[in-house]
Amino acid sequence: MARHTVADMRTAHAAGSHFAVVTAWDRPTAEFAEAAGVQFILVGDSLAQVALGHESTVRVGMSEMVHHTAAVVRSTSEALVIGDMPFLSYVDAPTAAENAARFIRDAGAGAVKLEGGVSAAPIVAALVRSGVPVIGHIGFTPQSSLNESKPRAKGRLPEAAAALLEDAIALQEAGASAIVIELVPRELAAAITSRLRIPTIGIGAGGGCTGQVQVLPDLLGLLGATAPRHAGRVANLRDEAITALTSWRESVESGLFPTEAQGISADATLIAALNDLPR
């Protein structure tokens, strides 16, 4: 079966349907997502925090992002894999083109995502003219949050809401295939969605968007109590994993592991030969 493309997002939007997007960064997370029927996988720069232990998304560059994107592509067969353009990788059109090519040509991604609205529209347009499917990202943009103490909702005031709509329209006119809307009031996200011809993908932006994206560890509870409120955790695998590993450690320490089932047995010839080994 051919991989999904950004055209499938637009088809869902035109039909009034919803779709799911989840982040992944390696074989297990990619296989989990595809086996669950998720059609769109974002290799987000959030891997800086959830996979590599950094405090901010700005700590990863193209080398890490291409490495992990390639791993997700190799580990899937049907999902559209989207490479997240990292901090300072699209400061101008030539730089953006070079780095987008690494995602598409070298890693095998089917689209890229970048942050910014009106200011990013010329770069989006240049990439689209070159044949690169681009997904925009407005609202709270993590790569621009170094001056903020914590993630903050955007578009709460009328002027800010109007600016976000302007951002969305600019990205649409530049040729973006879809737009991520992060941490804005649900009514604003729905209003923006209703005024666009292209899909929106919400994260902490309510149910009025065409799609929803979440970070996989937040959904599955892999990192304890650090998940944001909007994640809507569906499992608590961290506690399950710790309980299972604790049980295994205790069985090792008590001599109960490994059992014969976890090993192989010597045949009679080898057993006889063992008796003749030097002591």
Is residue 103 in some structural domain? yes
Range of lowest pLDDT (133-137, 217-221, 226-230): 226-230
Are residues 270 and 224 both part of a single domain?
no
Strand residues in the chain grouped as ranges (E): 19-23, 40-43, 80-84, 111-113, 134-139, 178-182, 200-203, 211-214
Structure tokens belonging to residue 3: 């991989």
Are residues 93 and 140 both part of a single domain?
yes
pLDDT at residue number 228: 80
pLDDT at residue number 225: 67
At 151, is the pLDDT very low, low, confident or very high (cuts 50, 70, 90)?
A: confident
Is residue 1 in some structural domain? no
Instruction: Give the total number of structural domains in the chain.
Output: 2
Q: Please give the positions annotated as active site.
A: 182
Is residue 192 in some structural domain? yes
Q: What is the pLDDT of residues 158-212, one digit of tens each?
A: 999 999 999 999 999 999 999 999 999 999 999 999 999 999 999 999 999 999 9
Query: Which residues contact residue 84 at a Cβ distance below 8 angstroms, ignoring those fewer than 6 apart?
Result: 42, 43, 44, 45, 46, 65, 112, 113, 114
Q: What is the mean pLDDT of the chain?
A: 96
Are residues 33 and 168 both part of a single domain?
yes
Are residues 146 and 213 both part of a single domain?
yes
Amino acid present at 67: H
CATH number, domain with residue 187: 3.20.20.60
Are residues 259 and 143 both part of a single domain?
no
Is residue 48 in some structural domain? yes
The range of the structural domain enclosing residue 35 comes to: 6-235
Are residues 244 and 230 both part of a single domain?
no
Are residues 185 and 254 both part of a single domain?
no
| Mean pLDDT across 215-227 | 87
Are residues 86 and 181 both part of a single domain?
yes
pLDDT at residue number 233: 85
Q: What is the pLDDT of residues 107-128, one digit of tens each?
A: 999 999 999 999 999 999 999 9
Q: Looking at the predicted structure, is the pLDDT value of residue 229 above 90?
A: no
Q: How many residues appear in the chain?
A: 279
Are residues 260 and 177 both part of a single domain?
no
Are residues 188 and 258 both part of a single domain?
no
Are residues 96 and 63 both part of a single domain?
yes
Are residues 193 and 248 both part of a single domain?
no
At 45, is the pLDDT very low, low, confident or very high (cuts 50, 70, 90)?
A: very high
